[in-house]
Structure 1
Amino acid sequence: MPKNNNKKKNIAIGAGVALAALLLGAASYSATKPDEPSSVTAKEESPADVSADPQAGVYPELAKLARRDAKDPLAQGRADAPVVLIEYADFKCGYCGKFARDTEPDLVKKYVEDGTLRIEWRNFPIFGADSESAARGAWAAGQQGRFWQFHAAAYADGSKEKGFGGDRLKELAKEAGVKDVGRFSDDAGSAEAKAAVKKDQEEAYGLGATSTPSFLVNGRPISGAQPDEVFDQAIEQAAKAAKPSGAGDK
């Protein structure tokens, strides 16, 4: 009997997540579709085409997706930080690169370093075999504590145009300071890497995400490489909401 109750509870939670995530799916950012240079070029001029109102709803079901694993090599920031930003991204995605280069470093300086924010990465390869290879390579770099260095190398200007084949992944691993490149290659081709990437990918699809980058800030969906102020406002509002009742400002 308890098993049936648990099953019903899980189904209810899953349905709640799916319904809440309609906002994320509806606001899905589609300017990064591959092999369409004309449409991508046109939208490059306005990377915030999709509105991501920081006043939009916050969904408790989505907030529960934060893993808060202190040993997670694909995360940075305190495991008990009041705000968790989950990023679903693809290394072949131009706007993911824009976020990584232009916005994320400032978020780290302003919020991660003072303990307010934790950033959790989710591999969400949607642009084919190269995307999948890069995702597994990133995971493999993480096994040697060099995920964020690999992330920076893979998102450097002009990097994605070189592809993410086996030799290129080794180059990125060396650039990222991965000590054992042989182990890196083995890890990237392992069943564990495939399973880890699939887990992240299925989580994103389960949310209704169809493009990258997509984010959750304490359960608040944000789609696309939005302006810095969108993230600042969402993070600051989430931090304020997370304060214990009656707590004063810093």
Structure 2
Amino acid sequence: MPVSRSRKPKPNRRPKGGRQRPAAGAGRAAGAGRSRRPLVVAVAIAVVLFLLVGTVSALLAGGGDDGADDAVGDGQETVVPLPDDHPALQLARRDADDPLAVGAVDAPVVMIEYADFQCAFCGTHARDTYQRLLAEYVDQGVLRMEFRNFPINGPESDAAARAAWAAGRQGRFWEFYQAAFAEEFHLNSGRFTEDGLRVLAAEAGVPDVELLLTDMESAEAGEAVGADAEEAMDLGIATPPAFLLNGHPIEGARPFEEFATVIDQLAEAEGDA
């Protein structure tokens, strides 16, 4: 399914309530988006090489044939940290001013999440796993979570991505994230039309809803969403949600315990380094 494409807004025009905005472009972003492309391509090549060796298990390297000494538990494999110069580690921005991130900048583990606000499995992760990760790892200084918009389900997905970015400008991204994913809903239900976004922005405690609606139509919003989406596509991510934990991929809305297994081992390895 094609990624919705970000566009620059027409001057002095904004969609009326109830009407969906045309799909925005997640094509090649200007400036910083373009400058990151060689890095993302390098990461994509590295990931493909790992996959050729043996899918995700190549990143979750076990021990010898018996695996008994290296296993974390029944059926669990030892997580081997990537080399410090591995390009996948460079995708973490670790920017203290990033409004789409939560957690200590110097946390030992960074989890990058690629998600679409109309993705049902992204909603499952947000409702079932996000809060536990926040309480048990982020608040403890072990994990930093960085969000990337990856709108693949049409105009409402694009509108939601832009609105989430705009909410972040007012310091309410994660509140918007929780409000947007608070309940299950059908694709293109009107949840992310202008009227729906007004409701969600209010629920998220966005101070100035009108400013959010203006900011989301800016060229800067389109470039930010486009750069995130291009990063996901260059990495070969087909469907959200997808996650990188210090470069280690987890695909889909996996149980909290699977995230915990990887985080615990990576954090321990960082502590021993």
Alignment of 1:160-171 (within 5 A): 161-171=189-199
Code of the aligned partner of 1:101: R
Alignment of 1:84-233 (within 5 A): 84-158=110-184, 161-233=189-261
Q: 2: distance between equivalents of 1:189 and 1:11?
A: 24
2:262 counterpart residue number: 234
Q: 2: distance between equivalents of 1:139 and 1:17?
A: 25
Code of the aligned partner of 2:144: R
CA RMSD of aligned residues (A): 2.6
The alpha carbon displacement at 1:137 in A equals 0.4
The alpha carbon displacement at 1:16 in A equals 3.6
Does the aligned pair in 1 maintain the 2:41–2:235 contact within 8 Å?
no
Code of the aligned partner of 1:85: M
Q: 2: distance between equivalents of 1:70 and 1:64?
A: 16
Higher helix share: 1
The alpha carbon displacement at 1:240 in A equals 1.5
The alpha carbon displacement at 1:135 in A equals 0.1
Code of the aligned partner of 1:164: F
Q: 1: distance between equivalents of 2:78 and 2:201?
A: 36
* Closer/same/farther in 2, CA of residues 115 and 24 from structure 1, 3 Å limit: farther
Residues 171-210 of structure 1, C-alpha deviations (whole Å, 9 max, x = no match): 1111111111111110011111111000100111111101
Alignment of 1:3-18 (within 5 A): 16-18=42-44
Structure 1 residue runs without a partner (length 5+): 1-9, 29-51, 246-250
SS at match of 1:235: helix
* Closer/same/farther in 2, CA of residues 146 and 24 from structure 1, 3 Å limit: farther
The alpha carbon displacement at 1:167 in A equals 1.3
TM-score normalised by structure 2 residue count: 0.72
Code of the aligned partner of 1:138: A
TM-score normalised by structure 1 residue count: 0.78
Code of the aligned partner of 2:257: E
* Closer/same/farther in 2, CA of residues 106 and 82 from structure 1, 3 Å limit: same
Alignment of 1:51-62 (within 5 A): 55=79, 58=82, 60-62=86-88
**Aligned sequence identity (%):** 49
Residues 110-150 of structure 1, C-alpha deviations (whole Å, 9 max, x = no match): 11011000000000101111110000000000000011111
Q: 1: distance between equivalents of 2:160 and 2:41?
A: 32
Code of the aligned partner of 1:112: V
Alignment of 1:20-39 (within 5 A): 20-22=46-48
1:72 counterpart residue number: 98
* Closer/same/farther in 2, CA of residues 185 and 12 from structure 1, 3 Å limit: closer
Q: 2: distance between equivalents of 1:242 and 1:196?
A: 31
SS at match of 2:176: helix
The alpha carbon displacement at 1:61 in A equals 1.3
The alpha carbon displacement at 1:20 in A equals 2.5
SS at match of 1:87: strand
Does the aligned pair in 1 maintain the 2:121–2:240 contact within 8 Å?
yes
State how many pairs are aligned. 213
Residues 77-128 of structure 1, C-alpha deviations (whole Å, 9 max, x = no match): 0011110000000000001000001001001111101100000000010111
1:40 counterpart residue number: none
The alpha carbon displacement at 1:56 in A equals 7.7
